[in-house]
Structure 1
Amino acid sequence: MGIEQLSGIAEILGAVATIAGLLFLSIQVRDNTKVTKTSTLASMLEDARDRTAGQLCSDPEVSDIVARGVSSIDMLDQKEQLRFTFFVMETVLHMQNVMQLHEAKLLSRIDYLAWLDWTGAILRTPGARAIWPQVSSVVTPNIAGVLKAHLAENPDTPMLLDLMPVFDRREHAGVAC
């Protein structure tokens, strides 16, 4: 076997090794993407749980403010309205994070839509609806537009008080249901 033949074999082996390396890298990238998506969803859920559910479960005052706030903003004094406004703002900012993760293809469409429906369910409540003009004016136009469109396109979907009647305080305050 001559040098030319050995050189040809070496080139073929080099090409095969390059292809094998590229296949290995593509598998690694795909697996890393799955891990990143899973980690992103887990982190987002944990963050939402800690900031919202964790506070509602651990602080009866916050739970009461949110329950009265979603029922009617008029059930809250000025200090409580401020706290409720920040609850709604935090919900909207969380939805913005969800939207950005979805746009970056790190969150599935089904998860994105579930969070959009959840945020919409909160914003449809009487109390959140009353403060939505204030909140929508201070968040980015992107998330404000997405939420306004979602609310307009889905006017008959349930609000939080329908989905979770445990929050409903309207009857206790004489507010018409």
Structure 2
Amino acid sequence: MANPQVILIGGRSGVGKSSAAFALHDLLSDHDVQHTVIEGDNLDLAHPAPWKHRLAERNLASMWANYRALGYHRLIYTNTVSVLEAEALRDAVGGTAEVTCVLLRASDASIAQRLGGREQGESLRRHLERSARIAGRLDRAAPDGVHRIETDGLTPQALAEQILDLSGWMTAEEA
């Protein structure tokens, strides 16, 4: 079976992680490239937060085992801090995966517009504060090998094409 290939898409709230992943899914599907998309934010969404138990990684390992049993070897994984957790996520998919880390970035104005479309009032304020805080952390802590893409003015499709180019997933046979 082929070595796993993983694209980790990280970035602050409202930056376009899910939109990029769904557009990448459409692009790969159009080319009949076998893959799966997993939204990491849903793997440990609970209260109180179970982060200290590494539940997201444990759930990813379980889900990935099911996909691998069906022959999948390409994974698109989105999570705010995924690019900071690349080693743990690689281990969750078997430890031998080829990983492409992509950190999406956007201006505060773009984030406010995007989040304003789905949040309001106190919830919007909290999301904007949290998004700005994590953006700073990601910028400081993301390793040099992480690809950084500014999403301002990009459509999800254009973003997906950039991510696909970085991944090297489209070989001559698949294009």
Q: Same fold (TM over 0.5)?
A: no
- Which structure has the larger Rg over C-alpha atoms? 1
TM-score, normalisation: structure 2: 0.30
Higher relative contact order (CA 8 A, sep 6+): 2
Bigger helix fraction: 1
TM-score, normalisation: structure 1: 0.30
Bigger strand fraction: 2
